[in-house]
Structure 1
């Protein structure tokens, strides 16, 4: 799959997830076989750029691969300015968020709320594409609600306005993450446009990845929640797509080493106070399928020091085994 001058070495993308796809997580997923990782959503509001949260979201130091930065907002001029700003900071691709269903985003008429207003979609997309020389991509849902699945219409607007690739989550905004993702709309979008289309939603296994690619005709797939606590899903899917077989599971020692490395990277990236807090949710995802992990997580979440967290993990690994997670994305 190609996005402008950039060619992905695998049709696997890490979905942008606020509070999750920070630099440590992106780095880990790329090492596990993802072809590209899209960074966390950045607000187009210039007043928020100097916050600690925004500075960390813009931090791509030492990362390999293509640097794709997602921006969100509802004002075409501010979105254009945000795109220019992030390109100046090193972004190689700008991704526009019109897929987030969160209430706090939608009440500002951003994210998937924009799907209600095709003319505003066109204004935003055109402004961003005109503002920068790098490729611009777009992430959407299939529509606002099940009675208003206008994904094909939005996709055509996007392509006509210069968008170079489109990611589609197979649910409407009203569906949030409930029920099952549907792929018929993604299939119809792929048939309606010539730009690359990326399918997203409920891709939780190598076999499901193959099915979604074949059924929709999409050029690539995007994995979100299924990678939380299981970044090695990219390794599994990549092997299956290339060889048609499921790879042997990672050795338990390698999974444990990866978790230690991830937690340490969070401590280093955020500092001890924030790093310890953020590590709690990741460790919870890693251990959620472990019967012994329930009590451990309760105790782990009470720890306040980085060293205590790492020591606790060592003790847990010495006494227990892990189980691969299987969840919807």
Structure 2
């Protein structure tokens, strides 16, 4: 896929999720079939640029290009500075967060709260585009604030007039959060009116759902978030299905084991020992979801305080499964826990 001057493997994108789409996860998803991965959101508050968390989020060492970084905030001048800051540190695409429904983001009039103020949307978009004229700027939104205020078409017009190069839309309003089914009708209406690429997001949990979303929205690309947590091979499964109409076999237990171990080592190296152990817990839980005996395993694993304990527990769990030669028992249509409840945020 040709996208904003870059040649991508395909039109499957990793959605930005705070606390999830760090560099190790982005790299893994790209390796397993994603064409593009957008970083977890970086604050526009310049006072936080020196924090360890912000430095990690701006660390793209060895990352497969193109590097897309999402920024969040409510003040045009600060958003412009955040864009310049991240471009200087390797960002090749700047994405603006106007889709996050989390209360702590919306309470400071950032994320999807901005959809209430279309004039401020325009000010922010124009400021960021002007700040990084040589770098493509994209935008992620929801369909509106609530069911009575779906203004994605208005935001599209503002975005195009401001110089935004692509628009991703989560098929829910801010009020919906992650409840109910994503509605694709608004995305289809936006695509019909758009002169820029449109990326559809929401409930893309299987190859069949991916094909359906593309068909009903007419979108240029798909953005996948929660469904890829602990299941990064979803990208290769969708890629294969869209190109051939046939399904890949689900991964064997030994492959899941190997993918998880490699992911854990990347997390330990990226975050350091203490933080790495904490971050690893949620990923281990996601990888083992749906496997026999996983509930008891996760409960015990969450009590382990160090890397050695985590490694040994993961190995013991998967060696036991491998003896039975089991494949992943995962229901792709099972409901996912809301992102806010699982300790992470999705734009």
Q: Shared fold by TM > 0.5?
A: yes
The equivalent of 1:33 in structure 2 is 33
Matched, 1:290 2:296: no
1:174 positional shift: 0.4
Contact 1:137/1:165 (8 A) holds in 2: yes
CA distance in 2, matches of 1:7, 1:325: 33
1:78 positional shift: 0.6
Contact 1:169/1:201 (8 A) holds in 2: yes
| Cα deviation code 1:166-196 (max 9, x no counterpart) | 0000000000000110000000000111100
Mark the CA change 1:74 to 1:54 in structure 2 (over 3 Å): closer, same or farther. same
Q: Any unmatched runs of 5+ in structure 2?
A: 337-347
Q: Any unmatched runs of 5+ in structure 1?
A: none
Residues 6-25 of structure 1: matches in 2 within 5 Å? Answer: 6-25=6-25
Contact 1:13/1:36 (8 A) holds in 2: yes
SS at match of 2:18: coil
Contact 2:129/2:137 (8 A) holds in 1: yes
Matched, 1:120 2:120: yes
CA distance in 1, matches of 2:77, 2:175: 28
Cα RMSD (Å): 1.1
The equivalent of 1:172 in structure 2 is 173
Give TM-score scaled by structure 1 length: 0.98
SS at match of 1:214: helix
The equivalent of 1:257 in structure 2 is 258
Residues 121-270 of structure 1: matches in 2 within 5 Å? Answer: 121-132=121-132, 133-270=134-271
1:245 positional shift: 1.1
CA distance in 2, matches of 1:135, 1:3: 10
1:286 positional shift: 1.0
Q: How many residues align?
A: 329
1:4 positional shift: 2.3
Mark the CA change 1:304 to 1:325 in structure 2 (over 3 Å): closer, same or farther. farther
CA distance in 1, matches of 2:177, 2:2: 29
Contact 1:203/1:328 (8 A) holds in 2: no
Contact 1:97/1:111 (8 A) holds in 2: yes
The equivalent of 1:75 in structure 2 is 75
Matched, 1:101 2:101: yes
1:328 positional shift: 5.5
**Quick one: higher RCO (CA 8 Å, sep 6+), 1 or 2?**
2
SS at match of 2:17: coil
